[in-house]
């Protein structure tokens, strides 16, 4: 249910291999967890109120539970993939979206690490390209963002897209 099946998007006959498959940092699940907690509080609270009010609390709790489950499933099914040829993102629960960008079109990668992200080990990527593909512009809640940025830079360098290597 949570696996977006990345392998079917690879150009295996062209020699494309996955360098890194990025799932979201655990912090992306905080909001669904808080909504689940609120729903549980409402459900327990419905035991202690008048029956005419309890049904409304139960309905609201079920709405929160469904919404939290939907958000959590969306986070699980959102993958950012770095290959030796391109970067792409697959996301969506019922309908699936695929956004891809060849390594040669990546002009700039910004890594934003808010204070809580620095403390917890996550950041957000912002890709700049000539075409400004919106599906890949912002990748949020990336764990170990510095390592992932270096992985992309290594792949770009190995592909010879940024000029010759400078000897040490």
Instruction: Output 102-110 pairs: Cβ under 8 A, ≥24 positions apart.
Output: 103/155, 103/156, 103/159, 103/161, 104/159, 104/161, 105/129, 105/130, 105/131, 106/152, 106/156, 109/149, 109/152, 109/153
Residues spanned by the domain of 42: 30-73
* 77 three-state secondary structure: coil
Give the residue with greater pLDDT, 133 vs 82: 82
Residues 35 and 98 in one domain: no
Contacts of residue 21, defined as CB under 8 A and 6 or more positions apart, other chains included, come to: 6, 79, 80, 81, 82
Residues 125 and 90 in one domain: yes
State phi, psi for 160 to the nearest 5 degrees: 75, 30
Residue 92 domain flag: yes
Tens-digit pLDDT profile for residues 58-110: 999 999 999 999 999 999 999 999 999 888 999 988 888 998 888 888 878 88
Euclidean distance between CA atoms 62 and 60, whole angstroms:
5
Among 73, 93, 108, give the residue marking a domain's end.
73
Residues 88 and 106 in one domain: yes
Residues 90 and 155 in one domain: yes
Tens-digit pLDDT profile for residues 136-161: 788 899 999 999 999 888 888 887 76
Predicted pLDDT of residue 7: 87
Spatial CA neighbour of 87 closest among 72, 112, 109: 109
Cα-Cα-Cα-Cα torsion 67, 71, 76, 79, nearest 10 degrees, comes to: 150
Residue 6 domain flag: no
Cα-Cα-Cα-Cα torsion 40, 45, 47, 52, nearest 10 degrees, comes to: -120
Tens-digit pLDDT profile for residues 15-55: 999 999 999 999 999 999 999 999 999 999 999 988 888 99
Predicted pLDDT of residue 136: 78
Euclidean distance between CA atoms 136 and 146, whole angstroms:
18
Residue 167 domain flag: no
Residues 64 and 40 in one domain: yes
Query: pTM for the whole thing?
Result: 0.80
């Amino acid at each position: 249910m949570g696996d977006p099946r990345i392998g079917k998007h690879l150009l295996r006959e062209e020699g494309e291999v996955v360098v890194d498959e990025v799932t979201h940092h655990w912090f992306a699940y905080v909001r669904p967890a808080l909504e689940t907690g609120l729903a549980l509080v409402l459900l327990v609270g419905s035991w202690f109120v008048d029956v005419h009010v309890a049904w409304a609390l139960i309905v609201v709790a079920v709405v929160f539970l469904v919404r939290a489950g939907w958000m959590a499933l969306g986070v699980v099914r959102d993958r950012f993939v770095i290959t030796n040829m391109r970067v792409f993102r697959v996301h969506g629960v019922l309908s699936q979206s695929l956004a891809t960008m060849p390594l040669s079109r990546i002009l700039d990668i910004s890594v934003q690490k808010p204070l809580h992200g620095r403390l917890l080990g996550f950041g957000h990527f912002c890709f700049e390209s000539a075409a400004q593909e919106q599906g890949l512009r912002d990748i949020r809640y990336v764990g170990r963002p510095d390592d992932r940025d270096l992985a992309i830079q290594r792949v770009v360098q190995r592909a010879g897209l940024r000029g010759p290597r400078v000897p040490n």
